[in-house]
Amino acid sequence: MTSLELDRVTVTARTVDGEMVVLQETTLTLTEQRVALIGANGSGKSTLARLLNGLVSPTTGQVRVGGLDVAREGKEVRRRVGFVFTDPAAQLVMPTAAEDVALSLRRTHPDKAERRRAALEVLAAFGLDGLGDRSVHTLSGGQRQLLALAGVLATAPDVLVADEPTTLLDLANSRRVGDLLLSLPQQLVLVTHDLDLAARCDRGVVMVDGEVAFDGTAAEAVGHYRAVA
């Protein structure tokens, strides 16, 4: 597994009232296959997840992915770390499903026809066959999230960071996406409010007010969070 390291990392943000600490000094090494980050809204779990892909820069400290400094080698890190957002509508940037997956394949498949064929194969692998020429705008919420996952995983990253990927989905689609995430060969860092899903991970980290309040097995972490929430 890739080693995901936060070394004395803090994140602060400017507000109208001055500076606000979003993430207190945190040192953490994640090497498990599936890690769940849980906590209340505003507890800092999404910030922690975004640090791993360079979407958020640490105010102090260093974030390393597989030994690479995210601040200095962000381009290489982003090739290794895929990121799935809560709302796939913002993540799907091309008009049709096949074109969106093809965008991810531009580096690995320079030939247009080959790229489209590869994109359609990726769609089929995610149960989205026949939807290649559909506008992403007309897909259901579940299909959009699966497409967002397909677009990210098409580049075969080593690590997938998913920030509340099931929050906007109905029960059936939430289960479908959750099962898919947990079955991936990739290392997974999962930010979620779905405690049943979190409990199926190998490790659980509970965030409270911008700091790690508990770190242990996922089942213990869920138990801890249920007790304090």
Partner 1 sequence: MSLLGLHQPGHTRLHRTSTGWKLLALASASIVVVAVRGPGSSLAFLAVALLLVAWSGAGLAATLRTLRGLVVVAVLMAAYLAWQQDWARAVEAVADLATLVLLATVLTVTTPIDEMLETITRALQPLRPLGVRPESVALAFSLVIRALPTTLDLARETREAALARGLQHDPRARLTPLVIRVVAHARATGDALHARGVGD
Task: Give me the residues that bind partner 1 (CB under 8 A), please.
Answer: 53-55, 74-75, 78-79, 82-83, 85, 87, 89-96, 99, 102-104, 112, 115-116, 133, 135-138, 151-152, 155
Least Å from the CB of residue 171 to partner 1: 23
Q: CB atoms < 10 A from the CB of 38, how many?
A: 28
* Beta carbon nearer to partner 1, 64 or 224: 64
Find, among 152, 224, 226, the residue nearest to 189 by Cα.
Answer: 152
Least Å from the CB of residue 166 to partner 1: 18
In angstroms and rounded to an integer, the radius of gyration of the C-alpha atoms of the chain is 18
* Beta carbon nearer to partner 1, 94 or 124: 94
Q: What is the C-alpha to C-alpha distance for residues 108 and 192, in angstroms, rounded to an integer?
A: 31
Least Å from the CB of residue 98 to partner 1: 8
Angle subtended at Cα 80 by Cα 22 and Cα 65, rounded to the nearest 5 degrees: 50
* Beta carbon nearer to partner 1, 104 or 192: 104
Least Å from the CB of residue 126 to partner 1: 16
* Beta carbon nearer to partner 1, 93 or 219: 93
Least Å from the CB of residue 123 to partner 1: 15
Q: What are the tokens at 115?
A: 């790229």
Q: CB atoms < 10 A from the CB of 125, how many?
A: 12
* Beta carbon nearer to partner 1, 105 or 207: 105
